[in-house]
A and B are shown apart, each in its own frame.
Chain A
Amino acid sequence: MVAPKTLLDKIWEAHEVVSQGAGKPSLLYIDLHLVHEVTSPQAFDGLRAAGRRVRRPDLTFATMDHNIPTDVPSVIRDPIARKQVEVLAKNCAEFGVHLAGIESPDQGIVHVIGPELGLTQPGKTIVCGDSHTSTHGAFGALAFGIGTSEVEHVLATQCLWQQKPKVLKLELVGRRPAGVTAKDVILGVIARHGVGFGTGHVIEVSGEVVSAMSMEERMTVCNMAIEAGARAGLVAPDETTFAYLRGRPFVPQGEAFDRAVAVWRTLRADEGAVYDKTITFDVSGLEPQVTWGTNPGMCVGVKGAVPDPAQAASETERRAMERALEYMGLAPGTRIEEIPVQHVFIGSCTNARIEDLRQAAAVAKGRKVAPGVRALVVPGSKRVKQQAEAEGLDRVFKEAGFEWREPGCSMCLGMNPDIVPAGERCASTSNRNFEGRQGRGARTHLVSPAMAAAAAIAGHFVDVREWLGELEAAATGGR
């Protein structure tokens, strides 16, 4: 009898070009290589220096996102950023790589456009010089971030040497309360189990909660698998996955799609598959989450308060908490709902898809952004922007006093002009609240899109569940 396999086992074995036996790295074939402007220039340059070509330009897809200004994207004032964008265009032309550039209708954040174009498919191996490549795992693809030398390696060989990771089964069970989003679920898991619980592992996410999630929600969960230290997140594909993919530009069409689905259905863990670790997380009692510190695990429910370092479990933890609170300008015991915000950022590869914008718009509708708050909505891609405009979401946001921007990474990392000034506070739908992430001295609080919109209107954090009527309308009307 063949031993029962995990989903990772199945994808791994199908992609081994060279296997050296257990414990040694395998040479894995890469089905899709996504490329962006920041981590690729030296890789292309390396190819050029060695006189090499891109082995499979047809499996390589490039876009521009990190450096792109979101007000007038074609005018990049920072000369270094402009250079990186120009160099990517030149490299793609020289090496025959397809580029969704600034002018392309397909342009957007690399982890938003892969899925929406149907490039991301179940069972693929997907890499990108970017840690949030884990997002694509929502489709049952093995997707992980790599460094610049590895980018060059994949460009040249379409393969990578990889040590097989361990597998952690994360079972999400219980009944998700209304107003509690996928973002709250993953923040809740990381808050409970720590920012390192996934280290060395691929996290296979399963359970009734994830089965009931939309693709957008699953992407949010897998996007943040990396914030738990995991190599990748993985959700077995199902009817929701297939329905999302059908008809997308790069998936097989017609009968070929049905044949693909038949194969994709086999992509699930076998009964009795053995995991290196299992975590069960019950979402039933979860509140909307707000981070108070400088990593995604420093997080509490919106009805809670900033914790007291004196209660820390260890000396190291106490010092980390104290340092975080000092950076964040917060005193222990402050109620989360009392914390004011000056900036709100709705965007990033975590939460800038159409459903995210619908949820935020439902909260913003008919209301006004509080005086003194600057609120940005940055769609994840051109297509998301277009869809949102077709639904009139842009008008809802603009009437409420939000700025409606062009797609890009924007305030997620402040490599472009969208920056939070030092000492100011931002409710952000992105994935990292590290020191300086949104700008030097900027104070980031990670939240869901609905919570971010509510904070923009109230001028401080509020429990969005109290505004629930609108959210339900969006959830039913939108799909």
Chain B
Amino acid sequence: MEPFVTLTGVAAPLDRVNVDTDQIIPKQFLKRVERTGFGQFLFYDWRFLPDGKENPEFVLNDPRYRGASILVAGPNFGCGSSREHAAWSLLDYGFRVIIAPSFADIFYNNCFKNGILLVTLPDDAVRSLMDAAARGVAVTVDLERQVVETAEGASWGFEIDPFRRRCLLEGLDDIGLTLQHEDAIAAYEAKRKDNPLAVFAAR
């Protein structure tokens, strides 16, 4: 998992409430063999018209927001199905931060597992951020200091669980955490020859 410390970038305002994971990634795209490559299907039914052309009305197709790395959205973002593909598609598209007044539980967990920072801010702060984004003002999200700032000088602090914060700052996923026991694993492997059950275990 990529560590996340701080990021300054373009924010895209998605002014909708209750965005569910079926919208984030429709089910016909779940049969793939990869965990990556889902970005092209992100918000598929909103981004593309039935004939497959881009829908010019949708925010991510607006030239101002191409290359956005921060998504600012309405409350209860990520509700519905538990599909981890939703997190995979957001990350693959290029989002590292999502800011909203509230998030659905399972989606929240899935995002942190995949290195996406979710920032919960009050309604009025989210509203101000959406306005700033629309004016093309860059946004900075600093996890170390736990603060969101605009290039115009507005700033808001945010709360986050210390364990999740540490995992993100250090880029630790489950595997990363286990690898912190690398010495123990290596020591175990080294003394396998003395372990009567493991002697014959290697093929």
Contacts and interface: CB of A to CB of B under 8 A. Distances in A.
A263 interface: yes
Given A58-B202, A119-B203, A153 B178 contact: yes
B199 to A, nearest CB: 7
A59 interface: yes
Contacts, number: 93
Interface stretch (A11-19, A217-225, A269-277, A368-376): A11-19
Interface stretch (A41-49, A310-318, A337-345, A387-395): A41-49
Given A27-B184, A159-B185, A252-B200, A83 B35 contact: no
A242 to B, nearest CB: 12
A80 interface: yes
A146 interface: no
Interface stretch (B17-25, B44-52, B132-140, B190-198): B190-198
A123 B181 CA distance: 24
B173 A17 contact: no
A327 interface: no
A123 B201 contact: yes
B68 to A, nearest CB: 21
Contacts of A17: 181, 184-185, 188
A463 B75 CA distance: 63
B54 to A, nearest CB: 26
Given A27-B178, A27-B181, A52-B175, A41 B201 contact: no
B117 to A, nearest CB: 18
Given A41-B33, A119-B203, A124-B201, A157 B195 contact: no
A46 B185 contact: no
Nearest to B31: A80
A14 B203 contact: no
* Interface SS majority for chain A: helix
B179 interface: yes
A32 B179 contact: no
Contact of A32 (B196, B199, B203): B203
Contacts of A18: 181, 184
A10 B34 CA distance: 38
Contact of A42 (B33, B189, B199, B203): B33
A58 B192 CA distance: 15
B100 to A, nearest CB: 25
7 contacts: A46-B35, A50-B173, A84-B33, A121-B200, A157-B179, A158-B185, A252-B200
Interface of A: 10-11, 14-15, 17-18, 27, 29, 31-32, 41-42, 45-46, 48-50, 52, 58-59, 61, 80, 83-84, 87, 119, 121, 123-124, 149, 152-153, 156-159, 161, 250-252, 256, 259-260, 263, 266-267
Given A58-B202, A59-B202, 17 more contacts: A17-B184, A18-B181, A27-B178, A27-B181, A31-B198, A50-B1, A59-B203, A61-B203, A123-B197, A123-B200, A123-B201, A153-B174, A156-B179, A158-B189, A259-B199, A259-B200, A263-B197
